[in-house]
Every structure is written in C-alpha cells, then in structure tokens.
Structure 1
Amino acid sequence: MSLELITIPCLSDNYAFILFNNENRSALLVDAPEAEPI
C-alpha cells in the first residue's frame, strides 16, 4: 500500500492533514477546528 501524507498550514499556527492512498485514490482529511493553537 502506498500512502502519502500532505500537511496543509492553516492560519499561522494550525495544520490540516490529508492521507492519500495512491492505489485506490481514496483520501482521509484530518482538520483540527480549534480556534486556539494546538
């Protein structure tokens, strides 16, 4: 299984993450919706 992790900066102190499966082209998005820094 080939997975790719993509980190996306959000604002100045948070991140969202996409885990992408290259074999079946599915993706999982993890977004931390907290307004405070995490």
Structure 2
Amino acid sequence: DFLDIIALVAGIVQTVLYADFFYLYVSKVVQQKYV
C-alpha cells in the first residue's frame, strides 16, 4: 500500500510539472505571436 502511495504522489508531481511546463511553453508562444 505504501508503494502505491509513492507511485500515486510521483504521478501527481509529474503531471503538475508537465502541466506547468506546458503552460510556460504556451504562454511564450502566445506572447511571441501577439507582441
């Protein structure tokens, strides 16, 4: 059960980091396109 918790937390962290990276990438592209 403890390993499942670790896997779950790791998956959430990875998703958050990926979402943050994706957000930064999109914001850069949008700024370049509309500036």
TM norm structure 1? 0.19
Bigger Rg over Cα = 2
Structure number with higher relative contact order (C-alpha < 8 Å, ≥ 6 residues apart):
1
**Structure having the larger proportion of residues in strand:** 1
**Structure having the larger proportion of residues in helix:** 2
